[in-house]
């Protein structure tokens, strides 16, 4: 099948709440990774072309759904305060990345098998 040569499979993992609302997925994960890098939610939002208010809302919604704090505010410093990931956020990111890695690898293998003879 042409698929095997020219198309590639992507796998997206998301956590939904009871109402089907997205609470954690690639977007939140990327935002948290950017906060870790920049040590600031505002800087992270800016580098992703996202409004600070939206970034703040995404983090707040995820915190509420997960029942835990994801960011700790830091005070002072050259940029007048910022944010770092909580240990719980680090553990969550690590679990999500590991899950994505193993599910992705399994999916690619099954994809080759299932689509090879189409």
CB of 112 to a copy of itself, least distance (A): 10
Strands 71-74 and 22-24: unpaired
Looking at residues 51 to 90 of the shown chain, list those that interact with a copy of itself (rule: CB under 8 A): 65-68, 88
Helix, strand, or coil (residue 83): strand
Residue 51 backbone class (left: φ over 0; alpha: ψ -120 to 50; beta: rest): beta
Looking at residues 16 to 35 of the shown chain, list those that interact with a copy of itself (rule: CB under 8 A): 16-18, 23-24
Largest pairwise CA distance in the chain: 61
Quick check: 115 binds a copy of itself (CB under 8 A)? yes
Residues forming contacts to a copy of itself in the complex (CB under 8 A) are 1-3, 6-18, 23-24, 65-68, 88, 91-92, 95, 98-99, 102-103, 106-107, 110-111, 114-115, 118
């Amino acid at each position: 099948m042409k698929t095997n040569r020219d198309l590639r499979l992507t796998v997206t993992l998301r956590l939904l709440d009871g109402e089907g609302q997205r609470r954690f997925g690639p977007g939140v994960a990327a935002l948290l990774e950017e906060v870790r890098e920049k040590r600031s939610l505002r800087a992270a939002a800016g580098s992703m072309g996202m409004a600070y208010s939206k970034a703040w809302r995404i983090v707040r919604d995820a915190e509420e759904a997960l029942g835990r704090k994801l960011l700790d505010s830091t005070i002072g410093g050259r940029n007048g305060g910022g944010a770092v990931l909580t240990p719980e956020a680090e553990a969550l990111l690590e679990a999500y990345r590991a899950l994505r890695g193993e599910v992705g690898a399994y999916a690619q293998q099954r994809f080759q098998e299932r689509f090879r003879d189409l």
